[in-house]
Amino acid sequence: MTPRRIAGLLCLTIVAAAQSGEEAIRNRLRGLRQLPGDVRARTTRDLALEIRTLPNTSGRLNLALGLASLATEGDFGRDTLQEVTTTLADALRADPQPEAKGRPARPYLELARLVRYEHMQAGLDDPQFAAAMSQLESDDRVRDEADFSLSDLNGKTWTLKGLRGKVVLVNFWATWCSPCRKEMPDLEALYRKFKHQGFVILSISDEDSAKVAPFIRQMGYTYPVLLDPGRKVNQQFRIEGIPKSFVYDRTSRLVAQSIDMRTRSQFLQMLRQAGLE
As a whole number, mean pLDDT of residues 155-159 equals 97
Mind listing the pLDDT tens digit for each residue in 29-46?
Answer: 999 999 999 999 999 999
State whether 24 and 106 are in the same domain.
yes
- Domain contains 277: no
- Domain contains 212: yes
Measure CA of the first residue to CA of the last residue in the chain; give whole Å: 74
Instruction: State which residues form the domain around 252.
Output: 149-272
Last residue of a domain, one of 79, 114, 141: 141
Which residue would you say has higher pLDDT here, 234 or 100? 234
- Domain contains 205: yes
Three-state SS string over the chain comes to: CCHHHHHHHHHHHHHHHHHHHHHHHHHHHHCHHHCCHHHHHHHHHHHHHHHHCCCCCHHHHHHHHHHHHHHCCCCCCHHHHHHHHHHHHHHHHHCCCCCECCECCHHHHHHHHHHHHHCCCCCCCCHHHHHHHHHHHHHHHHHHCCCCEEEECCCCEEECHHHCCCEEEEEEECCCCHHHHHHHHHHHHHHHHHHHHCEEEEEEECCCHHHHHHHHHHHCCCCCEEECCCCHHHHHCCCCCCCEEEEECCCCCEEEEECCCCCHHHHHHHHHCCCCC
State whether 236 and 188 are in the same domain.
yes
State whether 234 and 267 are in the same domain.
yes
State whether 18 and 68 are in the same domain.
yes
Last residue of a domain, one of 104, 119, 141: 141
Q: How many CB atoms lie within 10 A of CB 52?
A: 15
- Domain contains 225: yes
What pLDDT, on the 0 to 100 scale, is given for residue 17? 44
State whether 92 and 12 are in the same domain.
yes
Mind listing the pLDDT tens digit for each residue in 112-133?
Answer: 999 999 999 999 999 999 999 9
State whether 137 and 156 are in the same domain.
no
The number of folded domains in the chain is 2
Q: pTM for the whole thing?
A: 0.88
Mind listing the pLDDT tens digit for each residue in 68-95?
Answer: 999 999 999 999 999 999 999 999 999 9
State whether 43 and 76 are in the same domain.
yes
State whether 21 and 96 are in the same domain.
yes
Residue of 222, 250, 270 whose CA lies nearest to 163? 250
As a whole number, mean pLDDT of residues 205-217 equals 97
State whether 116 and 184 are in the same domain.
no
Q: What is the CATH number of the domain that holds 221?
A: 3.40.30.10
Chain-centre distance of CA 162, in angstroms? 28
Last residue of a domain, one of 116, 141, 166: 141
- Domain contains 136: yes
State whether 105 and 177 are in the same domain.
no
As a whole-number percent, the residues of the chain with pLDDT over 90 amount to: 89
- Domain contains 29: yes
- Domain contains 197: yes
The one-letter amino acid code at 64 reads A
What pLDDT, on the 0 to 100 scale, is given for residue 109? 97
- Domain contains 76: yes
State whether 33 and 125 are in the same domain.
yes
State whether 54 and 169 are in the same domain.
no
Indicate whether 15 pLDDT > 70. no
Residue 4: pLDDT band (50, 70, 90) is low
Is the Cβ–Cβ distance between 157 and 149 less than 8 Å? Answer: yes
What pLDDT, on the 0 to 100 scale, is given for residue 100? 84
Which residue would you say has higher pLDDT here, 221 or 17? 221
The angle formed by the CA atoms of residues 259, 173 and 143, to the nearest 5 degrees, is: 50
Residue of 148, 71, 163 whose CA lies nearest to 117? 71
What pLDDT, on the 0 to 100 scale, is given for residue 56? 86
What pLDDT, on the 0 to 100 scale, is given for residue 1? 53
Mind listing the pLDDT tens digit for each residue in 134-143?
Answer: 999 999 999 9
